[in-house]
Amino acid sequence: MQLYNSMSAQKEEFAPPADRPVTLYVCGVTPYDTTHIGHARTFLIFDVLTRVLRAHGSAVLYCQNVTDVDDPLFERAARDRVPWQDLAEAQVAQFQADCAGLNIAPPTFFPRASDEIATMLPIIQRLIDLGHAYERAGNVYFSVQSDPSFGLMARMGYDEMLQIANKRGNRPDDMRKLDPLDFVLWQTGAPGDPTWESPWGPGRPGWHIECSAMSTRYLGDQIDIHGGGRDLLFPHHPCEIAQTENATGKRPFVRVWMHAGMVYLDGEKMSKSLGNMIFARDACVSIALIPSAGICSASIIATIFTTSAPLCPLSPRCSRASRRR
């Protein structure tokens, strides 16, 4: 089997370990506005990978997380005036139902960030003790200058990394930082945010540390394959690498990094932040209404998103492109 490794930017031969299961971690959803077909494509791709590995005799331990401690979830809950736990619970249930409707096999482990705070705290403390992180006024930051290989997989210069990080939640004007690109491991949070106790005071974890904690707890310090959407190539996955490798002292954290392409709708990447979404359940219903379909809509959706260019099959743009072909 050959897999495209984002770290080396080339296809590589993947030999499953002979003495243990293949370990696979895939970054999961933040549970609000699930499940659009961009999500569906990512999880279908890794479902196919898991099925192929198992069909060829390999056991697979597959961990997929739920990011239920994150700003977008809290902001949506505040907007809708509902408890964030209730919103997360309803959206996780919808996500699981949508995956079942697409015949996606459930992962071996499905942890939620809110249940794993105790796993994160020792990792953060170890990074502080080793000089890779520092505390300021109840916030803890990872020092990117402490890791000379930070961002290697992204293949970007400092300015480009900072620009992209700023678009994806980084706060470069935080005067407590030593470097504008330093990222949060623990934060005091905004008024009204949920908080947990920590050695640095009440607060909540940063986004990146959640995945380092869950991947190492359920799969070990080094894993075979780590996946997610292509938008995680920076900053999320390089931050995971920096945290995990410096905390454990083991390199590489991941043998093969895999990133699924984005789904585009009328020229824009489909995303919750832009609101240009088609939900997986609606796509299945729409395709099921095509008289010539002949097979279940879930099978058609799976075929489209694992064999074709990442364009939405229900958009006018994609329909025109299909007619041209």
Under the banding of pLDDT at 50, 70 and 90, the label for residue 290 is: very low
Taken in order 246, 250, 251, 255, the sign of the CA dihedral is: negative
For 129-154, give the secondary structure using H, E and C. Answer: HCCCEEEECCEEEECHHHCCCCCHHH
Q: pTM for this one? A: 0.89
Question: How confident is the model at residue 278, as a pLDDT?
Answer: 81
Under the banding of pLDDT at 50, 70 and 90, the label for residue 34 is: confident
Has domain 2-116+206-265 been given CATH number 3.30.420.40?
no
Query: Which tens digits make up the pLDDT trace of 173-184?
Result: 999 999 999 999
Question: How confident is the model at residue 39, as a pLDDT?
Answer: 82
Question: How confident is the model at residue 247, as a pLDDT?
Answer: 98
Work out the average pLDDT over 16-27: 97
Q: Where are the domains of the chain?
A: 2-116+206-265
Distance CA 205, CA 312 (A): 34
